[in-house]
Structure 1
Amino acid sequence: MRKYLCILGTTGGVLALVVGAAAGTNESASATKTRTKSSSETASRRFTLDRAILTALQQNPDILRAKQEIERTKGVIIEIRAQALPHITPSGSFQWIDPNLRGGSSLATGGGGFTFPGESDVSYAIRVTGTQLIFNGTTYPAIRGTFFQRDSAYFAFRNTLDQVIATVKTQFYQVVVNKALIGVQEEQVQLLRSQLQDQQNRFEAGTVPRFNVLQAEVALYNQIPQLITARNNFRIAQLTLAKTLGLFFDPLRGENPPLEVVGEMPYNPRNINLADAIEFGKQRRPFLKQARANVLNQIEQVHVALGGFLPTISTTGGGEWVSSSLNSSWHDISKGWIAQVTGSWPIWDSGEVYGRVKEQRALLSETKITYDDDVRQVELEVQQAYSNLQQNRELIQSQEKNVEQALEAVRLAKARLDAGAGTQLDVLNAQVQLATAESTRLQALFGYNSSLAEFDRVTGTESTYTESFSGLAPHATRSKIYETGSGVDATGKHREKSSK
């Protein structure tokens, strides 16, 4: 009996070890799977600048709306063009009347009150007609106008594309600079804490008064709110960038950031000739090409209004099959062809067409004025971006030297304090000046990169990303009618040089 109990105990122990090992393996596999999933989600939220831009090009709502606007204008082209193409319309009717009602039904007798003997109770008719516009003065200019509307929608899409790219760059660099500013504030808080600890040690040793400790505590607690503000600015910048990229809120992440930015704040000075930049902006800016398309469309709208003075001629043709009044047999039907030509000419309309022409010509003048103003707007934006680049470049150059001097000032202030020749206030002031210099330098770097992104937008130089949408570009948008340099006017004609 004791032998059997030993065997059972040994077997139970082995089974327990096997079950425990299996459970441990499952838990380890589950933990590994969880870590893998977590690392995968973290990797999916990591964005370099290029990945952030490509994500925005695919998901940003402004870009998606602009693409749908192009599709809408394509639908308008099909709709207006259909007015000049044949329309084929089949129609038919079927009627049955109870024989008990014949002779008393006005529907059966046509209102006469009697019927002919042997008349059929069933009647039907089938007609197929086609209509074709031969001539009018409005449809064909309207069709040409729809193509310019499509081109305008495409250039509006390109303009939105450039704006989104510049916005993503600016917001990306805002996240980077806010993260760096947190580091500056954390470093300052750490320095002030070490300064407070040093003063407390000196006070306990009896070498400094209590006032030095209080002064160090005040400086530390004045610096902590700036660190809190920097962290909040960093979170807000991340949320703003996530919205621009079209990322939805994930409840599983809780208070964790929606994304992680991978990159640094670059400084790549660029030599720019202002006159060449302005001319380059005029030639490539989609904003101006959109205004040109609006002018050309409005010219066609004037032609549409003038077409109201011309006649309209259309033709109709087809066939008709009508049942016999005596029986409903298909072999006894009456059939034949129909042909008709109609025309109309508004000889007198009390000034309706003239008023419409006057209205469209005024709108044409407005679009030309708008185009000229848009040219000046491009010139202004290029000059503003150029001036901002100069300002931030000068700030960077000045602050690089200033940071070095502030670091040296902090070192000397601490050395003087340790030697008994300086005061704690000198150290605190030097640390404040260092934090200010580092923050100013980071802001200048951010300002330069954001100004550079704006400069690329206003000069239309984001060809690397816009070429990925080349399939959306209508062929006409590459023609010479959309040359918008300094030598052409609102309609694309060369300007005449005025002699002084």
Structure 2
Amino acid sequence: MKSRKKKAGAIALALAVLTAFGTSSAERVDMTLDEGIRLALENNYSIEESGADLDSAYWSLREARRNGGPKVNWTSTAYRVGGKAYEGWNHNGLYGNQFSFSMPIYSGGRVENGIKAAEMGLSGAELEYERTKQNIRNTVSGDYYYILKCRSEVEVYQESVNNLQAHLDNVNAKLRAGVVAQKDVLSSEVSLAEEKQKLVTAVNDYHVAVATFNNDVGLPMETETNPREQLEYEKYAFTLPECDEYAKLHRPDLFQKEFNLRQKKAEMEAAKSGMRPKLDAGVSRNIGGSSAFKTDSVTSDSWTAGVALSWDIFDSGITSAQVNKKKAAVHRAEAELKDKLNNVRLEVRTAYLNMQAAEENIGTMREALEKAQEDYRIEVVRYNAGVGTNLEVMDAQDKLVSAKGDFINALYKYNYSRASLDTAMGVPVDLDVTPYRQTLENSEKKGE
């Protein structure tokens, strides 16, 4: 209970220092990490950019599907005429209207593969949208943990300043009693000044961290955001092979690369349609005469209905060049997929090993901190008893501050690495990638 009261008192004291360095007119907001992530997902511009790409992919699919549907066209003409061919006409105008209906029956695979490519593109855009959210969550988590780190460091330096001030008061009292030399006072004053400088730097780092967090979540930068949580250690339950396997099954950008590969293959097949015949059905009606929608010109009064077959037997190699261009895009997509798979494995391993190292350091630094606290307590007692030196107290104080900083840094790196590991594994924000993975697996079974 006493340790909790001391911790609460230190936090309150540090917050008082932060307030003194802050802007009193700024709005104060208490926030958890989950609240910050939710706010960022609502306000971050990267979400809007990715959302616009998703809308574009949706309308591309709509366009591709409509390419296989019927088309109705109306063409109207109006001309002023003259010459011997029109001698004897009572009017000097010629009007015409053509109404046509057409629909592709066989496009050589252009329409079907165009639809397939657009479907792959839409699935890829949906997965990329989810990945954008995961990256934003990772950024906000890193910002939040860095605020906690900076705030903890402010608390450490504030406590150190208080300890050094109390020690300086004690040294001055001993000087007045003639027990110590003047140099003890001077060295204590120098140490106090240096620690105050570190406190000012720590406070500034805290404000910069808050401003960065505010910018990423969409709050005004001058907002005094106060995290409700503390840096803590929570054991991670999964092994590296389990994390690696999870990433293979859940990374949305990994599946996005696979959909991109299938999209490029479909585009290549659509390009091959230029080598095949096309068959279209059509109906047309023509009317024309001396006024709009009048049919007093026999040569302009006609209708047609039937089918049209066309085949570009030779196009100077244009289609072949287009197909080869699409083949190159397929090879690139294959390389991108392999590269993404390697990067995913590397990201998972890197984040996991960093987390593991930070976890080991937490235990080591906790022991070092306990020893540094005890050493400082002993040196203060020895100095007060007249058997220790001022230099020994200053040295113990420096080691205590350093041990606290190392412990805080280990906690920060552990939490940051854990958040990075979640991102590397593809832990979802909103989208379940299972249906997309099943779609890819089914297409592989069909040999597509």
Match of 1:150 among 122, 125, 137: 122
Q: Does 1:108 align with 2:81?
A: yes
Distance across 2 between alignment mates of 1:283 and 1:66: 22
Q: Does 1:272 align with 2:238?
A: yes
C-alpha contact (below 8 Å) 2:97/2:293 kept by paired residues: no
Q: CA deviation at 1:257?
A: 3.5
Matched position secondary structure for 2:149: helix
Deviation sequence 1:462-484 (CA, Å, 0-9, x none): 3xx315xx7xx8x963633168x
Residue number in structure 2 paired with 1:301: 267
Give matches, 1:58-457, under 5 Å.
58-94=42-78, 107-109=80-82, 111-112=83-84, 115-116=87-88, 119-120=90-91, 123-137=94-108, 138-249=110-221, 256-323=222-289, 325=290, 336-339=302-305, 341-457=307-423
Distance across 2 between alignment mates of 1:161 and 1:301: 29
Q: CA deviation at 1:191?
A: 1.1
Distance across 2 between alignment mates of 1:292 and 1:57: 26
AA partner of residue 435 (structure 1): V
Distance across 1 between alignment mates of 2:84 and 2:435: 65
AA partner of residue 106 (structure 2): F
Matched position secondary structure for 2:81: helix
Q: CA deviation at 1:342?
A: 3.4
Distance across 2 between alignment mates of 1:89 and 1:247: 52
Residue number in structure 2 paired with 1:10: none
Distance across 1 between alignment mates of 2:77 and 2:97: 7
C-alpha contact (below 8 Å) 1:174/1:446 kept by paired residues: yes
Distance across 2 between alignment mates of 1:258 and 1:122: 77
Stretches of structure 2 lacking an aligned partner (at least 5 in a row): 1-23
1:347/1:113 CA distance change after superposition, 3 Å:
closer
The answer to which of 261-270 and 328-337 deviates more is: 328-337
Deviation sequence 1:116-153 (CA, Å, 0-9, x none): 06x23555333221222222222321221011011111
Residue number in structure 2 paired with 1:4: none
Deviation sequence 1:146-190 (CA, Å, 0-9, x none): 110111111111111111111111111111111111010111111
How many residues align? The count is 421
Q: CA deviation at 1:258?
A: 4.5
Matched position secondary structure for 1:88: strand
Distance across 1 between alignment mates of 2:391 and 2:292: 114
Residue number in structure 1 paired with 2:10: none
For CA contacts below 8 A with separation 6 or more, give which structure has more relative contact order: 2
Distance across 2 between alignment mates of 1:452 and 1:413: 38
Match of 1:466 among 420, 430, 447: 430
The answer to which of 126-135 and 450-459 deviates more is: 126-135
1:76/1:480 CA distance change after superposition, 3 Å:
closer
Q: CA deviation at 1:199?
A: 1.4
Q: CA deviation at 1:445?
A: 0.7
Distance across 1 between alignment mates of 2:417 and 2:177: 54
Matched position secondary structure for 2:336: helix
Distance across 2 between alignment mates of 1:396 and 1:71: 46
Structure with larger Rg: 1
Percent identical residues: 25
Residue number in structure 1 paired with 2:18: none
Matched position secondary structure for 1:65: helix
C-alpha contact (below 8 Å) 2:355/2:414 kept by paired residues: yes
The answer to which of 215-224 and 311-320 deviates more is: 311-320
AA partner of residue 355 (structure 1): A
Matched position secondary structure for 1:313: strand
Distance across 1 between alignment mates of 2:85 and 2:99: 32
Alpha-carbon RMSD across the aligned residues, in angstroms, is 2.7
Matched position secondary structure for 1:265: coil
The answer to which of 163-172 and 425-434 deviates more is: 163-172
TM-score by length of 2: 0.87
Deviation sequence 1:22-45 (CA, Å, 0-9, x none): xxxxxxxxxxxxxxxxx9x956x3
Distance across 2 between alignment mates of 1:234 and 1:168: 15
Q: CA deviation at 1:373?
A: 2.0
TM-score by length of 1: 0.78
Distance across 1 between alignment mates of 2:343 and 2:446: 20
